[in-house]
Amino acid sequence: MRNENRNAHSLAIKEMTEEIYNLAEEQSKALKAATFLGMTTNEANECDSRRGRIRHLIKEIEQLQNTKERTE
């Protein structure tokens, strides 16, 4: 059972890490475009949402890693 939990944690961490990379790439593109074209209120809200999601995912990964380390 412990091995299954570690595998599940590892898979979840991998998926969240991939999502962070995708969100960071979107964020980078949006900020580069804003440098030259400006940013609408809607685009700024989307950037804020992505930033919030990235922070949330990082916290979840930290919690999963801590749980994983405690069970090893």
Q: What does the pLDDT average to over 18-40? A: 95
What's the pTM? 0.84
3-class SS at 37? Answer: helix
State residue 4's pLDDT score. 77
Rounded alpha-carbon distances, angstroms, from residue 39 to 5, 32, 48, 56: 43, 10, 12, 24
pLDDT single digits (tens) 30-68 = 999 999 999 999 999 999 999 999 999 999 999 998 887
State residue 8's pLDDT score. 86
